[in-house]
Amino acid sequence: MSAKPTGNPVSAAGPAPDAAASPATAAPLLEVVDLCTGFHTPRGLVRAVDHVSIAVRPEETLGIVGESGSGKSVFARSVMGLIAPGQRVERTGRIMFAGRDLVRLPRRELRKMWGSEIAMVLQDPLTSLNPVTRIGRQISETVRRHRPELSRGEAEAASVELLRSVGIPEPAKRMHAYPHQLSGGMRQRVGIAIALAGNPRLLFADEPTTALDVTVQHQILDLLGRQQAERHMAMVLVTHDLGVVATRTDRIAVMYAGRIVETAPTRTLFANVMMPYTRALLDALPRLEEPSHTRLNAIPGHPPNLAVPMPGCRFADRCPAARRKCREQEPPLVQADDPEHSYRCWYPVGSPEYESSAAAGTETTERSGSDQGAMRER
Amino acid sequence: MTHADQDADRPLLRVADLVVEYHTRAGTVHAVSGVSFELDRGETLGVVGESGCGKSTMARSILQMPRPLSGTVEFDGTDLTRLPGSSLRRLRPELQMVFQDPVSSLNPRRKIRQIVAEPLTIWRRGTRAERAAKAEEMLRAVGLDPADYGDRHPTELSGGQCQRVAIARALVAGARLLVCDEPVSSLDVSLRATVLNLIEDLRERFDLAVLFIAHDLAVVKNVSDRVMVMYLGKVVEIAGAGELYSRPAHPYTLALLNSVPRPDPGARRPEGVVAGDPPSPVDPPSGCRFRTRCAMANDVCAREEPPLTAIRPGHAVACHFPLQAADLSRQPEA
């Protein structure tokens, strides 16, 4: 169960330079307390985010990791107020941002904060940019919204500067382009430029690189990191890819079925995984260091149906170490050795119960090899 | 040349000098410019490269959808490019493809068992009962219990399950070559592992030749025996998977490897990555197509196109200055 040996010299250069940027004692910039977001559907109330509490400190990067349907995007959108209570949506809890509770803030006040306090970068800007308006106008519009005192010309000059700062070559020329004329990576840079136009203090990046090639993904993540440091901005990086968050975040929260199931400083989490789900996510990844045709450890089954309330741990059905107690009582979020590390599990990784079940599990899958029983989903 | 005794040594698929071009208002798009490789029964060849490098176009032109501009595609001794449409159609069951988006590649109005049986219906194989039995057998082979899933519709299944159905449909009529175009890119990590394991199992069980296209290098390594790296319509490097990943010789391969995010917070963030986007395939750079993004490029690279040359048995690279083992060990320290 220990970390697999890697092909490169591990951290000979010491911790990442930005790891110590935000002291653990700093007052949080964003503090979410008991946030619940539910959708009324024909099948009943679906609690996509269920009693989630988490804080983001100034200048910190928080990674939120989970599969589709874990509630990670709904969480980001509820905090932004993009999913707001209405006929079909229910949202409760507190979202304290710089001393104000966003849940109680009137819509007009909230809108003023978009872009200038909290901004968001989406997965594919092709769907968020206006396809029939030139890039330049879309950025200038945003710039002028945040700084109404600027003239049209000044706003354009500021937009060119923004495009340059996000690494777009020949920015003055690109101002005249339409979104479809840019590559995916360039469009994402434009999306980031627009998000940064109001100089926000907190940036949500919701799967910002999922639609991109590895090379471009690397560039975009570098860019986000650089901008974050220059602007002293906090960032919440939402992704399903543990590889992306491993080297780009200070802390990670793992979500499953609407709940945070484990949260810890990034290094602590990878060194000392407690929650079997996090372990399973890590074990399911194909690794560059492993030889070809290495059998992957798939997670059996599916995430639960959130419209059906269930007792017990939500991961119990798929967990190798689940026991009767897991199906009957939901484990609370408990603290690990590191006070910043907490998890939701009765028999965490490392406990005798988990280790004996996990060992038994690996043996059977290894033996059955290519036999079909092992790959059946339930 | 189709002597029966040669069948055994001959690779199942032999692609030579494949060229695909499209004419657009902006000019001629050089999508695939002279790709050659061989693929054997029971073997998986991985294809990696950025979007726009021509990897999907290449795969489709191998299956003659559409036919390539020039080059030959020999499938078990038959040149598909010269085959008339009717004969090609008869070969279709043996040449199958699995697509990226499993949900949209299945007919939402059909039940799962109908979807899987459809190729058999089209080819009028066996009786209705035999076809139903064969479809059920195939569903079981991909790990879906026909009693549970047979009468459901694609919308009632997860993405991973839909991808299994697509694979079952591809194999039900006796495929020998399976082309997988980004089969797991739209799946979650947990489902990705199941589908990759499944492709491995089926390759062994049916002795399939698999052409596996993906942009995720870790995924490609996991399933491939050999890996081919494409850049702007050309093969820049091809080697056994272990060799390519441990001793990349093309600067582009190294850059791709350096870009892969490692699930390890202690991992260094490598500097040797490429900047910018690939140039347009309408007007590819002279000489080496990668030179505009290559840190090591000089005049020769602009003048002369490097041919794909073997540097070790089974390892070929198209570069004037292939990386040596020394370059690789120096790189991580930088």
Q: Which of A16, A28, A10, A53 is nearest to A266 (CA)?
A: A16
- Report residue A6 as tokens: 């890697």
Per-residue pLDDT of chain B (334 residues; tens, 9 = 90+): 445 445 567 899 999 999 999 999 989 999 999 999 999 999 999 999 988 899 999 999 999 999 999 999 999 999 999 999 999 999 999 999 999 888 888 999 999 999 999 999 999 999 999 999 999 999 999 999 999 999 999 998 888 899 999 999 999 999 999 999 999 988 888 888 999 999 999 999 999 999 999 989 999 999 999 999 999 999 999 999 999 999 999 999 999 999 988 888 887 767 667 877 888 899 999 999 999 999 889 999 999 999 999 999 999 999 999 998 666 654 443 3
Kindly report which listed range (A118-122, A134-138, A280-284, B327-331) carries the lowest average pLDDT score: B327-331
Section A105-125 average pLDDT: 90
Cα distance between residue B62 and residue B87, in whole Å = 15
Of B221, B255, B261, which is closest to A246 when you measure between CB atoms? Answer: B261
Q: Which long-range contacts (CB under 8 A, 24 or more apart) does A50-55 make?
A: A50/A257, A50/A258, A50/A259, A50/A306, A51/A93, A51/A259, A52/A93, A52/A255, A52/A258, A52/A259, A52/A260, A53/A93, A53/A260, A54/A253, A54/A260, A54/A263, A55/A28, A55/A30, A55/A31
3-state secondary structure labels for all residues of A103-147: CCCCHHHHHHHECCCEEEECCCHHHHCCCCCCHHHHHHHHHHHHC
Q: Which of A207, A288, A295 to mutate to test the interface with B (most CBs of B within 10 A)?
A: A288
* Helical H segments across chain B, by residue range: 55-62, 85-91, 112-122, 128-141, 146-149, 159-171, 189-206, 217-223, 241-246, 251-259, 299-303, 325-333
Whether A286 contacts B222, CB under 8 Å: yes
For residue A20, what pLDDT is reported? 42
Please name the helix (run of DSSP H) or strand (run of DSSP E) that holds residue B8, with its range, or none: none
Please tell me if residue A305 touches chain B, with a CB cutoff of 8 Å: no
Residues in chain A: 378
Cα distance between residue A37 and residue A35, in whole Å = 7
For residue B334, what pLDDT is reported? 32
Partners of B163 on chain A (C-beta within 8 Å) are none
Query: Quick check: A214 and B262 CB within 8 A?
Result: no
Query: Quick check: B265 and A302 CB within 8 A?
Result: no
Partners of B184 on chain A (C-beta within 8 Å) are none
For residue A212, what pLDDT is reported? 84
Give the closest-approach CA distance of B31 to chain A in angstroms. Answer: 16
Indicate the DSSP class of residue B278.
P
Q: Which of B33, B13, B2 is nearest to B305 (CA)?
A: B33
Query: Quick check: A216 and B277 CB within 8 A?
Result: yes
Q: What percent of chain A has pLDDT over 90?
A: 68
What are the extents of the domains in chain B? Answer: 249-334
Q: Which of A277, A283, A375 to mutate to test the interface with B (most CBs of B within 10 A)?
A: A375
Query: Quick check: B261 and A3 CB within 8 A?
Result: no
For residue B159, what pLDDT is reported? 86
Please tell me if residue A265 touches chain B, with a CB cutoff of 8 Å: no
Between A and B, how many CB-CB pairs are < 8 A? 169
Q: Which of A270, A211, A219 is nearest to A240 (CA)?
A: A211
| Each residue's pLDDT tens digit, A291-346 | 999 999 988 888 888 888 888 999 999 999 999 999 999 999 999 999 999 999 99
Please tell me if residue A229 touches chain B, with a CB cutoff of 8 Å: no
For residue B6, what pLDDT is reported? 53
For residue A215, what pLDDT is reported? 87
Give the closest-approach CA distance of A51 to chain B in angstroms. Answer: 24
Give the closest-approach CA distance of B323 to chain A in angstroms. Answer: 18
Confidence of residue A191 (pLDDT cuts 50, 70, 90): very high
Of A247, A280, A296, which is closest to B262 when you measure between CB atoms? Answer: A247
For residue B71, what pLDDT is reported? 96
Query: Quick check: A282 and B263 CB within 8 A?
Result: yes
For A265, list phi and psi in degrees, rounded to 5: -60, 145
The pLDDT of residue A93 is above 70: yes
| Each residue's pLDDT tens digit, A24-43 | 557 899 999 999 999 998 88
> Chain B residue with minimal CA distance to A279?
B190
Of A9, A246, A280, which is closest to B332 when you measure between CB atoms? Answer: A9
- The CA dihedral of A365, B208, B68, B57, to the nearest 10 degrees, is 0
Kindly report which listed range (A11-15, A235-239, B82-86) carries the lowest average pLDDT score: A11-15
3-state secondary structure labels for all residues of chain A: CCCCCCCCCCCCCCCCCCCCCCCCCCCCCEEEEEEEEEEEECCEEEEEEEEEEEEECCCCEEEEECCCCCCHHHHHHHHHCCCCCCCCEEEEEEEEECCEECCCCCHHHHHHHECCCEEEECCCHHHHCCCCCCHHHHHHHHHHHHCCCCCHHHHHHHHHHHHHHCCCCCHHHHCCCCHHHCCHHHHHHHHHHHHHCCCCCEEEEECCCCCCCHHHHHHHHHHHHHHHHHHCCEEEEEECCHHHHHCCCCEEEEEECCEEEEEEEHHHHHHCCCCHHHHHHHHCCCCCCCCCCCCCCCCCCCCCCCCCCCCCCCCHHHCCCCCHHHHHCCCCCEECCCCCCEECCCCCCCCHHHHHHHHHHHHHHHHHCCCHHHHCCC
Q: Which of A346, A349, A325, A344 is nearest to A334 (CA)?
A: A344
Provide the CATH number for the domain formed by A26-117+206-212+232-285+298-314+329-367 in this structure: 3.40.50.300
ipTM: 0.86
Of A6, A244, A293, which is closest to B264 when you measure between CB atoms? Answer: A6
The pLDDT of residue A122 is above 60: yes
